[in-house]
């Protein structure tokens, strides 16, 4: 079994007032409430800190409504390097430039790599499990970017496995890994053969948003108010505890828990 990651610090970026204009595939959920989004964000940060995580907080960027979703413009290979991804949505592409000054504080120039056009990628499509990186081939991440990513990480002993994504925005919109060989899946990923080696916890369609969880050094952090998913997680052994964080305002603009931080 792969060695479990130990996370020490997370990068987060405060939401802007313009998040009401964020990209959404679910307009029926309504427009985010900014004040409530701020409260939820603070609670998330407090939760991370309670788990002994150093939280690196970046200021809001009003010109980029979706820029609080810092996972998409950068992927960090812990202890190795950082990859600026060239995000797939044109309105978000400039977010990589916002992240670069912070990344340069933690990585030297030779340890910062770039996905370049015609390749485009969102970090939400990158699912690391041990030394294997499952990468969603989605509307936001093309095969050219996946090939570039593979060329960057292969010398580090990492393997890349492309996964077709048709039902979801990103790979991690439909699956996340919580160590101990446990993989949360929903929708199309319940039948993805590349995931057959894992113990699949199949999240019901009515709670599919709750498939996007964080494993933080033995603790599972999950979206609040998904009782069926929580009950399924509570049956698993090998975890310290399960903590709920409300991210309902971010759900309105296609964001989940993993989207809101870069972990290393």
Per-residue pLDDT tens for 34-83?
999 999 999 999 999 999 999 999 999 999 999 999 999 999 999 999 99
From CA 3, how far away is CA 170, in angstroms rounded?
Answer: 25
Per-residue pLDDT tens over the stretch 147-191: 999 999 999 999 999 999 999 999 999 999 999 999 999 999 999
CATH number of 9-263: 3.75.10.10
Percent of the chain residues past pLDDT 90, beyond the cut: 96
From CA 264, how far away is CA 10, in angstroms rounded?
Answer: 6
Candidates 258, 239, 242; CA nearest to 250 is 258
End-to-end CA distance of the chain: 20
pTM of the model: 0.96
Per DSSP, helices labelled H in the chain are 34-50, 95-106, 143-153, 227-234, 248-251
What pLDDT, on the 0 to 100 scale, is given for residue 64? 97
Spatial contact of 169 and 138, defined as CB atoms under 8 Å apart = yes
List 135's β-bridge partners, or say none.
126, 162
Catalytic positions are 170, 259
What pLDDT, on the 0 to 100 scale, is given for residue 117? 98
- What does the domain layout of the chain look like in residue ranges? 9-263
Candidates 252, 195, 184; CA nearest to 220 is 184
């Amino acid at each position: 079994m792969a060695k479990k990651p130990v996370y020490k610090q997370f990068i987060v970026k405060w939401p802007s007032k313009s998040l009401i204009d964020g990209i959404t595939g679910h307009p029926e959920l309504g427009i985010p409430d900014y004040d409530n989004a701020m409260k939820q964000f603070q609670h998330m940060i407090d939760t991370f800190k309670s788990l002994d995580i150093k939280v690196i907080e970046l200021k809001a960027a009003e010109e980029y409504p979706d820029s609080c979703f810092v996972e998409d413009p950068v992927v960090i290979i812990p202890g190795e390097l950082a990859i600026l991804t060239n995000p797939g949505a044109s309105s978000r592409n400039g977010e990589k430039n916002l992240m670069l000054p912070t990344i340069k504080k933690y990585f030297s120039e030779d340890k910062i790599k770039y996905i370049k056009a015609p390749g485009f990628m969102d970090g939400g499509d990158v699912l690391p499990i041990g030394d294997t990186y499952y990468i969603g081939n989605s509307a936001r991440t093309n095969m050219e970017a996946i090939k570039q990513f593979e060329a960057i990480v292969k010398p580090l002993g990492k393997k890349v496995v492309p996964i077709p994504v048709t039902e979801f925005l990103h790979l991690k919109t439909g699956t996340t890994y919580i160590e101990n060989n446990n993989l949360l899946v929903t929708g199309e990923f319940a039948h993805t053969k590349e995931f057959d080696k894992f113990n699949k916890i199949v999240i019901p369609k009515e709670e599919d948003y709750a498939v996007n969880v964080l494993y933080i050094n033995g603790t599972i952090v999950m979206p609040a108010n998904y009782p069926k998913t929580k009950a399924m997680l509570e049956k698993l052994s090998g975890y310290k505890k399960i903590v709920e964080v409300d991210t309902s305002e971010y759900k309105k603009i296609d964001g989940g828990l993993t989207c809101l931080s870069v972990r290393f």
